[in-house]
Amino acid sequence: MILVTAATGQVGRELVSVLRLRGLAFRALVRGAALKDGVECVRGDFRDSAGLAAAMAGVERMYLACAPTPDQADLEMRAVDAAARHGVRHVVKLSAYDAHDANPSDFRRWNGVAERHLRNSGLAWTILRPTAFNQSLDPRAVAERGVLHSTQGAATTPFVDTRDIADVAAAVLDGTGHDGRIYDLTGPEAFTQPALAALIAKVFATPVACRPVSDAEALRELLESGMDEGFARSMIVHWQSYRARPATLVSGWTEILTGQSPRTLRAYLEECRAAASNGAPAAS
């Protein structure tokens, strides 16, 4: 039995689909409504010991992820401790590129702290470290504005598709030989921000400029968009730390672990364009 946490998350919901397709026995830990299509669900929260105990009964392997919030590391560490108490043997943790417990980026540091706790837990573990998700981009909004604001200078990003991360997670949860492994996950190609703007322009058939903006201007824009101030400030530091240590290399792990080439950013942009042409609402 597999337990999927963060089953409503960007990666978790794809993982639920893949596990169903593979016919694997799994259940999901959910805080809100049960999932559709008869997926077995247990109501619980990482802070709720009774819910975790119920969710972990008979579970051998767990997919662990949580939202990027200041209590992320604490929540994930609670889940790891509960897994150790309740006989879970192997935890597959969704982390992030360059995660370590001294990273100035909150997002990477929170993951790094939780990773270290998992590695020291005595459980078998596997860590997935993706770069930025394709699905974090809203190309339709960029195409409509006609400009991509960038704080990234010359840094490249090999955007990765959440469906590839889910395929890798499923292969690890259903496979052997992954204990103690850290897999960096990327898409097949790294893009600078001007190259990203050019690709959006091509796919959406509309001019898109790339305009460098200062960190102060980027912060102002995030705040004007309604983003919580703490999260907005974390984003700015995250981008600063990414500029200092960008992901330049493309990893081959998706193909090695799933036997499939990773999905391209272009294919994702084309899906977004098709959804826009079919009248689907823009991503929020």
Binding site for ligand NAP (CB under 6 A): 5-12, 31-32, 45-47, 65-68, 75, 94, 96, 107, 111, 130, 132-133, 136
Q: Give the separation between CA 184 and CA 201, rounded to whole angstroms.
A: 29
Residue 9 contacts residue 17 (beta carbons within 8 Å): no
67 or 216: CB nearest ligand NAP: 67
- Minimum CB distance to ligand NAP, residue 27 (Å): 14
Instruction: Determine the residue with CB nearest ligand NAP.
Output: 9
- Minimum CB distance to ligand NAP, residue 207 (Å): 26
Q: Give the separation between CA 29 and CA 54, rounded to whole angstroms.
A: 10
176 or 240: CB nearest ligand NAP: 240
For residue 106, what are the CA distances in angstroms to 78, 94, 166?
A: 19, 15, 24
107 or 268: CB nearest ligand NAP: 107
- Minimum CB distance to ligand NAP, residue 108 (Å): 7
Residue 91 contacts residue 118 (beta carbons within 8 Å): yes
Q: Say how many CA atoms lie within 13 Å of 47 toward its Cβ.
A: 4
Q: Tokens for 135?
A: 């699905």
- Minimum CB distance to ligand NAP, residue 10 (Å): 4
Q: Give the separation between CA 118 and CA 255, rounded to whole angstroms.
A: 26
- Minimum CB distance to ligand NAP, residue 109 (Å): 10
11 or 142: CB nearest ligand NAP: 11
2 or 65: CB nearest ligand NAP: 65
102 or 205: CB nearest ligand NAP: 102
**Distance between alpha carbon 280 and the CA centroid of its chain, in Å?**
23
Q: Tokens for 258?
A: 């799933």
- Minimum CB distance to ligand NAP, residue 71 (Å): 7
Q: Give the separation between CA 33 and CA 239, rounded to whole angstroms.
A: 34
